[in-house]
């Protein structure tokens, strides 16, 4: 190589001076844990995703998913249907509440949970189905909603990848068809607060319960039911809650990130388009695009190595790294992990799409901070690695 290339990390958080200044201001304000910035972020987030939804800021998407299941009274004996193609967080919250995860297959094109697979998995014990908007490609919520209509089964969206995305029922997060939707603001996600998350819902009972349970089960409003003015010192503990609140330091950063969300999304969409154009003739399957009228968040760009490529994933990843480009894998499906195996018996028969697709999947760097030069370096590395 004639030109010296810098190493391209897999995911560079797109944060800078504006975020640093916002955090510094929060520090100096003296209010560093949950306070005015968190409440402002919740308000702004509701406006961003869909107007009259309630937003509940939390310390992570994992916390938000846990709170959603808790608020829906999920417990031992209940079955929760989840896709095998996801991060372990989607599954672990099911165990937090003592319920049983039922692990189902994905569609081979979209890598989103397969409707057919969910149909087969539904039982009288099914309480919640958790679709994951994989890589930011919106799940067809309308078809899941039709499938579950009248069954009493709730939908909770794992939208960790899906800010901003628009699906069949409007913007992901507007919760037109689900009980709750949960976003992640983890360091590598499309909008970040370092660690953080947001739960949105249109159900006032879910919102109220999640607000109580995110902070020790403390209910500051219970006094108001008996008296018009609660003294400032009063609080009542109504349940053994959790410590899942978002700090004002994180929220200050989140407010800047949310303002920049559309611009960052435009850049990721452009990068995805550059990859797509460059790879059309290569032996890789490109990620599915959002259907007409919908919007992909482009959190991840997952390619799948076709047989014609003639190399396995490990070799491809090594060749990329030799060309100074980091890659990643999203995800090692649940059924391959020691702890989840017992919950996914007979993957060959029940999860054939995931079994066939998982070994081929590689994620390429995709961050709104990448320059055209860096994108071209990734393109050259992919092209060179597949020669």
Ligand X SMILES: *Cc1c(COP(=O)(O)O)cnc(C)c1O
Q: Cite the active site residues.
A: 189
Q: Does 62 bind ligand X (CB under 6 A)?
A: yes
Q: Which pair of tokens denotes residue 95?
A: 């165990």
Q: Among residues 244, 61, 85, which one has the least CA distance to residue 159?
A: 61
Q: Does 155 bind ligand X (CB under 6 A)?
A: no
Give the footprint of ligand X on residues 177-196 (CB under 6 A).
184, 186
Q: CA-to-CA distance for 311 and 234, rounded, in angstroms? A: 65
Alpha carbon distance, N-terminus to C-terminus of the chain: 15
Cβ of residue 175: shortest distance to ligand X, in angstroms? Answer: 17
3-state secondary structure of 359: helix
CB nearer ligand X, residue 69 or residue 160? 160
Q: Does 159 bind ligand X (CB under 6 A)?
A: no
Q: Does 132 bind ligand X (CB under 6 A)?
A: yes
DSSP H helices, the chain, are: 17-29, 36-49, 61-71, 88-96, 115-121, 141-148, 204-213, 248-279, 313-322, 347-350, 352-357, 372-385
Q: Does 144 bind ligand X (CB under 6 A)?
A: no
Among 37, 55, 60, 201, binds ligand X (CB under 6 A): 60
Q: Are 103 and 343 in contact (CB under 8 A)?
A: yes
Among 50, 138, 197, 241, binds ligand X (CB under 6 A): 197
Cβ of residue 60: shortest distance to ligand X, in angstroms? Answer: 3
Among 41, 53, 61, 249, binds ligand X (CB under 6 A): 61
Choices 56-64, 171-179, 216-224, 271-279; region in contact with ligand X by CB under 6 A? 56-64
CB nearer ligand X, residue 161 or residue 209? 161
3-state secondary structure of 35: coil
Choices 16-24, 48-56, 58-66, 69-77; region in contact with ligand X by CB under 6 A? 58-66
Write out the H or E segment, with its range, that includes residue 180. strand 180-184
Rg (CA), the chain: 22
Q: Does 82 bind ligand X (CB under 6 A)?
A: no
Cβ of residue 375: shortest distance to ligand X, in angstroms? Answer: 23
The pair phi, psi for residue 8, each rounded to 5°, is -105, 110
Summarize as ranges the residues that interact with ligand X (CB under 6 A): 60-62, 86-87, 89-90, 132, 158, 160-161, 184, 186, 197
């Amino acid at each position: 190589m004639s030109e010296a290339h810098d190493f391209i990390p897999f995911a560079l958080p797109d944060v800078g001076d504006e975020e640093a200044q916002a955090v510094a201001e929060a520090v100096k304000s003296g209010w560093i844990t949950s306070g005015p910035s968190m409440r402002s972020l919740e308000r702004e987030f509701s406006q961003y995703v869909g107007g009259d939804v309630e937003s509940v800021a939390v310390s992570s998407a994992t916390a938000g998913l846990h709170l959603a299941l808790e608020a829906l009274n999920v417990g031992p004996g209940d079955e929760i249907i989840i896709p095998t193609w996801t991060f372990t967080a989607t599954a672990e919250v099911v165990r937090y509440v003592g319920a049983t995860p039922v692990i189902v297959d994905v569609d081979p094109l979209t890598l989103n949970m397969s409707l057919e697979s969910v149909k087969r998995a539904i039982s009288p014990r099914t309480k919640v189905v958790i679709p994951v908007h994989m890589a930011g490609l919106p799940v067809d919520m309308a078809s899941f909603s039709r499938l579950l209509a009248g069954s009493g089964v709730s939908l909770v969206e794992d939208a960790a990848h899906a800010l901003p995305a628009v699906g069949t029922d409007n913007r992901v997060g507007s919760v037109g068809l689900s009980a709750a939707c949960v976003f992640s603001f983890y360091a590598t996600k499309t909008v970040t607060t370092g660690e953080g998350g947001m739960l949105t819902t249109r159900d006032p009972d879910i919102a109220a319960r999640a607000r109580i349970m995110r902070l020790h089960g403390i209910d500051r409003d219970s006094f108001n039911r008996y008296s018009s003015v609660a003294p400032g010192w009063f609080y009542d503990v109504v349940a053994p809650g959790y410590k899942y609140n978002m700090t004002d330091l994180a929220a200050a950063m989140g407010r800047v990130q949310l303002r920049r969300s559309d611009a960052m999304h435009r850049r990721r969409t452009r990068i995805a388009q550059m990859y797509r154009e460059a790879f059309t003739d290569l032996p890789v399957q490109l990620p599915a695009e959002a259907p007409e009228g919908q919007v992909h968040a482009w959190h991840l760009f997952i390619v799948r190595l076709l047989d014609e490529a003639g190399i396995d994933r490990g070799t491809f990843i090594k060749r990329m790294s030799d060309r100074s480009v980091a890659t990643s894998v999203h995800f090692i499906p649940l059924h391959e992990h020691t702890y989840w195996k017992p919950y996914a018996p007979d993957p060959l028969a029940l999860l054939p799409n995931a079994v066939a697709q998982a070994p081929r999947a590689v994620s390429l760097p995709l961050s709104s901070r990448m320059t055209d030069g860096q994108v071209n370096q990734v393109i050259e590395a992919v092209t060179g690695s597949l020669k």
